[in-house]
Amino acid sequence: MFKSKMSKIAAILALFMVAGLCVGFIILPFVSLTGYPPADCMQVWYLPSPDYVSADFNVSAVEAILDDLAANRTCINETILAEHIPLEGVAVNETFAGYFSLICERKAGVSPSFFPVLSQYCGYANYSRTGSDDQYLAGEWYFDGIKEFLQAEKELCRYLEEHGRVSTVELNISKGSRYSPKSFDATKYECETTSGYFLIYKNTFGREGDYFIVYYGTVGSVDLSNQTPFLKALIADRYPTGSGIVGHLKS
């Protein structure tokens, strides 16, 4: 059912990313009967989390449970997952915890206040950094159609140019990525209220028609060059592990 071990792990990762039950993402993209997740499940997909599934987590056992639920046409939701999926193996994301703490919880369906409401499927989260007063922001907007995505991208580019300084830069997160060396172009944005980097993720689930605009930035007026190592750590924490395209905004 799963195309690769990495996709299996990605599926399990998605189960344990919301406070409380630690099963915030319904695993619809990995269950053949139910297909891919609906748009409202994508709203916080790329927002960093303090939890992850450790190497000792029994992926095969969980896959067997999911297959059995699907074979019996069980409606898979968070309640069902909490009843059937063991939490052993869910550990603290040490890379994340070494730098950051999540402030409150991730906000689904709410756009970051610094930017326009580009999509109804959006979310954001705020973070503090260990040993400092610095605060950070991660935001995302999801689109399941190319027309809506291109329109939002154009609107965002216009907004950024009117409110701050915009440029295209190359980022390398090789040292921070748990999976493989990654280098890509990003849109650098600087203003008095927030500065950071925008990225575009396209078709990262191995299918046509998924588009994300993601932002990782600071809160307040800062020297962005000094904050870039920490922002790269946030990007690496939730960087796509599958196929797809990663790039910068295009006006």
- Do the Cβ atoms of 22 and 16 come closer than 8 Å? yes
Q: For residue 101, which of 232, 234, 217, 197 has the smallest C-alpha distance?
A: 234
- Supply the pLDDT for residue 244: 84
- Supply the pLDDT for residue 33: 34
Residue ranges of alpha helices (H) inside the chain are 5-15, 59-71, 78-84, 94-99, 146-163, 224-237
* Distance between CA atoms of residues 121 and 136, nearest Å: 21
- Supply the pLDDT for residue 64: 59
* Distance between CA atoms of residues 58 and 216, nearest Å: 32
- Supply the pLDDT for residue 205: 76
- Do the Cβ atoms of 40 and 121 come closer than 8 Å? yes
Tens of pLDDT, residues 194-224: 999 999 999 887 778 889 999 999 999 999 9
3-state DSSP assignment of residue 39:
helix
Q: What percent of the chain has pLDDT over 70?
A: 63
Quick one: average pLDDT of 157-162?
A: 97
Higher pLDDT, 234 or 161: 161
Quick one: average pLDDT of 234-250?
A: 86
Question: Does 74 score more than 70 pLDDT?
Answer: no
- Supply the pLDDT for residue 162: 96
Quick one: average pLDDT of 173-179?
A: 64
Say which residue the tokens 């300084």 belong to. 165
Q: Which amino acid is at 180?
A: S
Q: How many other C-beta atoms can be found within 10 angstroms of the C-beta atom of residue 66?
A: 25
Q: What percent of the chain has pLDDT over 90?
A: 41
This prediction has a pTM of 0.71
Question: Does 123 score more than 80 pLDDT?
Answer: yes
Helix axes 5-15, 59-71, angle to 10 degrees: 80
Tens of pLDDT, residues 10-55: 445 444 443 333 433 334 334 333 446 677 778 888 998 776 544 4
